[in-house]
């Protein structure tokens, strides 16, 4: 069956995603991927299953498998919303990695270096943001729930991806944040805000973190906010070996997602295998 694309469909798709209460980051991602598909297929051009298979092959030549699947998932959701189920294509089958690339594995010592470097440079807000994500495992989009009320209570009520969970805040972190809000005269609302009073966003934090790299002695490819969440997850799992509770802490519905966060580097896994002593 032939179907025809038009620009109005993107606005309609966005509206449906908003009605489904998808997060703003998820909506932006889906829309961006659908626009990429539109650029490939051409507006007002007819599409069918053959078009989608060709698009899938095109993506394979340009992106890593995980990125291909991510982009296809977005477009498939769009196609289903349009009731064009006959155009939906299968995503690629990817063998689950048994370990994480060492060049992206942020160590606790490197994390401490980033925190200390931010403090030396006088960027106390960034230092506390990194400590907040690192010690709680929250998403950067969830920083807005770290409020003055939350640090006084010792926990934050976080609503993300359609779920609400309680995030416990370490006492040492609360004390630092209380001192910070007193210094900044923040009496209510979110702790981490810009000079204009808006909540900090991913781009603010990413840019500031990357700027720490050389002075902190940490490779830039390791420096991004989500890596702090990975560090929290791996540190917790090493200490407790409780992946079910870790899934609750991270706000995951699927424990397979949590498993990704607990992967150690190939080098560390090699040491663990050597320790088994099974070569006489």
Residue 67 sits in a domain whose CATH number is 1.10.150.130
Q: What is the pLDDT of residues 13-65, one digit of tens each?
A: 999 999 998 888 899 999 999 999 999 998 767 899 999 999 999 999 999 88
Residue 219 sits in a domain whose CATH number is 1.10.443.10
Range of the domain at 214: 102-268
Residue 81 domain flag: yes
Same domain assignment for residues 165 and 45: no
* Other CB atoms within 10 Å distance of the CB of residue 13: 20
Q: How many residues does the chain have?
A: 280
| Burial category of 98 from C-beta neighbours within 10 Å (exposed 0-12, middle 13-18, buried 19 and up) | exposed
Q: What is the pLDDT of residues 152-198, one digit of tens each?
A: 999 999 998 778 999 999 999 999 999 999 999 999 999 999 988 89
Q: In b/e form, how buried is each residue of 172-185, taking b as 16+ CB within 10 angstroms? A: ebbebbeebbeeee
Question: Number of structural domains, the chain?
Answer: 2
Return the percent helix, strand and coil in the chain, to nearest 5. Answer: 65, 10, 30
Q: What is the pLDDT of residues 190-218, one digit of tens each?
A: 999 998 889 998 888 999 999 999 899 99
């Amino acid at each position: 069956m032939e179907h025809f694309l038009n620009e109005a469909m993107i606005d309609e798709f966005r509206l449906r995603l908003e009605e489904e209460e998808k997060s703003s980051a998820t909506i932006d991602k889906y829309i961006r991927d659908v626009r990429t598909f539109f650029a490939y297929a051409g507006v007002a051009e007819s599409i069918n299953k053959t078009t989608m298979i060709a698009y899938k092959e095109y993506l394979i030549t340009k992106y890593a498998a995980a990125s291909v699947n991510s982009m296809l998932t977005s477009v498939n959701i769009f196609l289903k919303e349009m009731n064009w189920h006959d155009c939906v294509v299968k995503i690629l089958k990817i063998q689950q990695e048994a370990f994480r690339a060492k060049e992206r594995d942020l160590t606790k010592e490197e994390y401490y270096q980033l925190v200390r470097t931010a403090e030396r440079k006088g960027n106390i807000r960034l230092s506390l943001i990194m400590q907040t994500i690192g010690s709680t495992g929250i998403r950067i989009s969830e920083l807005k729930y770290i409020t003055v009320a939350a640090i006084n209570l010792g926990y934050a009520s976080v609503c993300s991806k359609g779920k609400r969970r309680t995030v416990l805040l370490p006492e040492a972190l609360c004390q630092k944040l209380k001192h910070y809000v007193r210094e900044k005269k923040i009496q209510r609302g979110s702790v981490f805000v810009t000079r204009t009073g808006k909540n900090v966003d991913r781009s603010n934090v990413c840019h500031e973190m990357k700027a720490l790299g050389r002075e902190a002695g940490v490779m830039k490819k390791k420096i991004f906010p989500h890596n702090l969440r990975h560090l929290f997850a791996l540190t917790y799992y090493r200490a407790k070996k409780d992946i079910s509770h870790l899934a609750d802490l991270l706000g995951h519905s699927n424990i397979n997602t949590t498993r990704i966060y607990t992967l150690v580097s190939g080098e560390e896994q090699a040491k663990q295998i050597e320790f088994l002593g099974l070569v006489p």
